[in-house]
Amino acid sequence: MTLARIFEPRSIAVVGASTDPAKRGHQILRALGESGYRGQVHAVNPAGGELLGHTLLRSLEELPEAVDLAVLCTPAAIAPRLVRACGERGVGGAVVLAVGFGESGPEGTRLEAELAAAGRDSGVRVIGPNTSGLLNLRLGVNLIGTRGVRPGGIALLVQSGNVALGLMNEITRRSALGVSICCGLGNEVDLGFGEVLEFLGRHDETTGVIAHVEGCRDGRALLSAAATVTRHKPVVAVKSGRTTRGAEAAVSQAGVVEVVRTDELSHIAETLVSQVPGPADSGIAILSDGGGQNTLAVDFLGELGAPLAQLREATTSALRTHLGPAAAVRNPVDVAGAADTDPRAFPRALKALAADPAVGIVLLVGLFGGYGIRFSEGLSRVETAAADDMAATMRAKGKGLVVQSLYAAWDSAPLNALRHGGVPVIESLEVACRAVAELQRRGERRAPDRSRRDPADPLAAPPRLTAKPSCVAPTPHRAIIAAREDGRTTLTELEARAVLGECGLAFEPAEIIRSGEEAAEKAVQHHHGLALKLLSRHIVHKSDARGVILDINTPREARDAFERIVANARSHARARGLPDERYAALASPMLPTPVAGFLIGACRDRQLGPVLTIGAGGVWVEVFRDVAHRVLPVDDSEIASMIPELKANALLAGTRGRAAVHTGPIVAAARAVAQSLLKWDDIAEAEVNPLFVYEDRVVPVDARVALAPP
């Protein structure tokens, strides 16, 4: 069944239609009439009779065959039975409004599972339960009961009815945009974010999506859909509650713009939908009537990593001619009072900026729209003409324009003219800066070199995130088999080296030491120092068991170190009730001091699947949490983009006489760790910590691999 039967239904059944105006079964039936729905409407109530011009059917069995959509305005307990009855009549989908399912406790969880089974068995696609409803304004499908919302191109994908109503009101009141579809997903018992977002990506009337996510049953499906949809439609999201590991970076990786404030949602969505993104080789120009706001805008954009345009000399000369000797013309551009008596200074300056190839987007900040209010009513007509001129100039040049005005909340004819011309008008300077920064970032994402993939690369993938990588090995690695036979879910370091080595990670030679005498002999062979590390089948964290001793220089030191490691291990095992075993050690030569120590890890996130992590390594990784995440699979360019996100990246730049570090070996090491999870389903987590980073090579010092429970 196509989702068009749900989102573009030709017939709707209101099950639980009510004569009580306070109940949803009455409100929805009335809203369908008021919203101009032209399809067939069937009202169902066991009492029969007439309601709002409809003859009430006494049961679902009286429905005609193949109604597209049913909205269940009924108690939770009977929803599974009604969904099965819908299936018997060929109904395509059901919107279950009732609460009292998984969000309400164990009994609700049981009822929710029953509802899910009813949908699967009957072939009826279910939205909800615990949903605010469904809206398609163009067709008059109003199963929410809202009034006064302007139709347009923004789709809302939400899990909160209040958030949905707030966004619809804000879009209608504060922009020239409107709403295409609003879908409350509720508990996602069947239809979820990913599948609905895919539909919205193909929906012609939808030009952008705003998502509010409280909890997502299938995060990978959402990201997979987002990675496809965001290539041609912007998606802006806000999440409630704590996110799973790597989720914040994952949504960005999929092209979704994530915000933390709901007041940013509609402004950023409007900007991305209505304005042309700045090309990757361009920057942002700031045009204002006050130096203070200029400085703040520069600071805000700098914090967001948004580039300022480097204006050409011809541009600055033209600006000087148009604005006079007092103006600042280097970017940020300050008209310096030139607009106080003649607001046409703005369109003159804007024409010069728009003609500069280095300028992709212009952010206008200050009093525009308020000159007629503050100084003289006669200026309002001049301002309005200037507004029309500015909108037309940027539209003709194919460049973005965002206006921040202190008078955005006023009834201002010039600002209304900008809005009608498709230009976003925003009161908050911070939000306006975020909007233009995201517009610039969208242009950079769409640059051709960001989408190149090497077809010979087993980790390469199109932007869509596949649910199951195709490079999975048919059988487990021999080390994994050995651990399973031993009843372990953690590999020894030697086994972890073998697994990661097969994926391309090169380790320094290490030898197994089983006695103090062997350790002493090994010390004789290594004149530059020896490192001994505990080798155990049951102790995972060697440092916690005091199982690592470095800088061993003599045979006696080596013998004593081995005996100390074994004694420490036995004490640690007894204290934690771990099985006894014959402990050994790995001996390896001491390494020179690295430029930096990194962590490379990969794990299977419950919602997102395999996730790659790169961060500052060593024993302090849990303290500083200087990490970057990506959902797998990714290619080398995506891995490389993680490194500049780290504070530890500053160590790689080359300071105090050191040469800059080549990041290629770091990327290759991360690729190998990622490959282990993509190749073997048994591996739940793989980690190298630390990875010693030198100017032209990396050396993995310690490795750990954990298996999924059998």
pLDDT tens digit sequence for 117-172: 999 999 999 999 999 999 999 999 999 989 899 999 999 999 888 889 999 998 98
- Return the pLDDT at 570: 95
Reported as a single tens digit per residue, the pLDDT across 330-360 is 999 998 877 777 889 999 999 999 999 999 9
Tokens of 29: 């039936």
489 CB neighbour count, 10 Å cutoff: 16
Secondary structure (3-state) at 419:
helix
Pairwise CA distance, residues 154 & 135, whole Å: 12
Distance CA 311, CA 320 (A): 13
CA atoms within 13 A on the CB side of 498: 13
Structure tokens at 643: 């490194």
Rounded mean pLDDT, 202-207: 96
What are φ and ψ of residue 630, in 5° steps?
-145, 140
Question: In this predicted structure, what is the pLDDT of residue 676?
Answer: 96
Q: What angle do CA 35, 148, 209 make, to 5 degrees?
A: 90
Q: In 254-355, where does DSSP find H-type helix?
A: 262-274, 291-303, 313-323, 345-354
DSSP-assigned beta bridge partners for residue 400: 361
Domains, in order of start, for the chain: 1-130 (3.40.50.720), 148-274 (3.40.50.261), 280-445 (3.40.50.261), 509-589 (3.30.1490.20), 596-707 (3.30.470.20)
pLDDT for 591 beyond 50: yes
451-455, 471-475, 534-538, 628-632: range with lowest mean pLDDT: 451-455
Does the pTM surpass 0.85? The reply is no
Tens digits of residue pLDDT in 33-76: 999 999 999 999 999 999 999 999 999 999 999 999 999 999 99
Strands 425-426, 400-405: pairing kind: parallel
DSSP 505-516: PPPPP-EEE-SH
621 or 505: whose pLDDT is higher?
Answer: 505
User: Quick one: pLDDT at residue 308?
Assistant: 96
Asked if 569 and 539 touch (Cβ cutoff 8 Å), the reply is yes
Mean pLDDT is lowest, of 186-195, 240-249, 412-421, 470-479, for 240-249
% residues pLDDT > 70 (the chain): 93
Q: Report the pLDDT value the prediction gives residue 452, as an integer from 0 to 100.
A: 38
Tokens representing residue 228 in the block = 């496809």
